[in-house]
């Protein structure tokens, strides 16, 4: 443990889906620990990303976006993961989009208010507001909604103004020893990260055709005689028609996902891998508590 650390705490990234929480987490910790795609609700699990700075350690909690209309058990599990992070955190980062305020943003703001915890408002995508003078009224309007510890416009994608965000953290964290060793950047295993990379590539290849009831499970993780790591992943869907969509005509969709995922996993692990993908059907898994537990979701 780093004995010079005098302040440490959990910092929850809270916001509606698709405001850039995962991009912000990756930028803050300096490497990819949470997958990113343009698709809302890409983040489905609570993921810890760890930042060590002079005298402090911030353990960021990347959470699924809080959203309304959660009728399916998977949606309910995602909302529970976000709310549990809010309850466990010492500090909240409320992440909003500089270009758009919605009813779901208002709902998240109310959850932050009800928590009574210190909160920093992070206004993401601020670089997209043109001319820049247009941003000031937005910041003033958002600042008046709650007694925030700070209001900081950033661009998570371009890493603009993140140093200012990091600078306010130490004084807002409680005194205490670090939770994690200084070399650790996430609480998640390499198997979990590999499964998430496959799911990320599926969102990018399938785009609008992506079935909502889709998840990835690592079934095989084995050292080969030739020095490669053999990884076998099952892509679970809910219907046979979805299976055909994922595989694609002549298997091209699955091949494209496999190639892109293999390159990213190679980079993450720093070694050669052999990746095999299968697509299987498990009807209504996203509404099954047993399946949610099997696939690593909190089924309550």
Q: Model's pTM, two decimal places?
A: 0.87
**pLDDT of 14 over the 50 cut:** yes
pLDDT in tens, 247-260: 999 999 999 999 99
Mean pLDDT of 220-234: 96
**pLDDT of 70 over the 70 cut:** no
pLDDT in tens, 19-59: 999 999 999 999 999 988 777 667 778 889 999 999 999 99
Which pLDDT does position 3 carry in this prediction?
56
What is the full DSSP assignment across the chain?
--TT--EEEEEEEE-STTSSHHHHHHHHHTS--S---SSTT---S-EEEEEEETTEEEEEEE-PPP-S---SHHHHHHHHHHHHHHHH-SEEEEEEETTB--HHHHHHHHHHHHHT--EEEEEE-GGGSSSGGGHHHHHHHHHTTS--SEEEE-BTTTTBTHHHHHHHHHHHSPB---SS-TT--BSS-HHHHHHHHHHHHHHHHHGGG--SS-EEEEEEEEE-TTSPEEEEEEEEESSHHHHHHHH-GGGHHHHHHHHHHHHHHHHHHTS-EEEEEEEEE-TTGGG-HHHHHHTT----
Q: Locate tokens 């500089």: which residue?
A: 98
* Rounded percentage of the chain residues whose pLDDT exceeds 70: 96
pLDDT in tens, 157-188: 999 999 999 999 999 999 999 999 999 999 99
Structural domains in the chain plus CATH codes: 7-172 (3.40.50.300), 190-294 (3.30.300.20)
């Amino acid at each position: 443990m780093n004995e010079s650390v005098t302040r440490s705490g959990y910092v929850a990234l809270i916001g509606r889906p698709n405001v850039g929480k995962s991009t912000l987490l990756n930028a803050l910790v300096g490497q990819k620990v949470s997958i990113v795609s343009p698709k809302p609700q890409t983040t489905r699990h609570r993921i810890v990303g760890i930042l060590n700075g002079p005298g402090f350690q911030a353990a960021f909690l990347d959470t699924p976006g809080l959203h309304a209309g959660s009728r399916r058990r998977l949606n309910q599990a995602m909302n529970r993961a976000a709310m549990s992070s809010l309850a466990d955190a010492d500090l909240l980062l409320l992440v909003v989009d500089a270009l758009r305020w919605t009813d779901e943003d208002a709902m998240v703001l109310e959850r932050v208010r009800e928590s009574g915890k210190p909160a920093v408002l992070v206004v993401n995508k601020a670089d997209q507001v043109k001319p820049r003078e247009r941003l000031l009224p937005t910041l003033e309007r958002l600042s008046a909604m709650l007694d925030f510890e700070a209001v900081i416009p950033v661009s998570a994608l371009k890493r603009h103004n993140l140093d200012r965000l990091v600078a306010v953290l130490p004084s807002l964290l409680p005194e205490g020893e670090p939770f994690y060793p200084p070399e650790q950047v996430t609480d998640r295993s390499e198997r979990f990260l590999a499964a998430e990379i496959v799911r990320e590539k599926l969102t990018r290849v399938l785009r609008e055709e992506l079935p909502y009831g889709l998840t990835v499970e690592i079934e095989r993780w084995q050292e080969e005689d030739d020095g490669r790591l053999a990884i076998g992943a099952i892509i679970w869907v809910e219907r046979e028609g979805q299976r055909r969509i994922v595989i694609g005509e002549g298997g091209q969709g699955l091949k494209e996902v496999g190639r892109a995922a293999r390159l990213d996993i190679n980079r993450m692990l720093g070694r050669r891998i052999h990746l095999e993908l299968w697509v299987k059907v498990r009807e209504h898994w996203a509404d099954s508590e047993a399946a949610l537990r099997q696939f690593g979701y909190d089924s309550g």
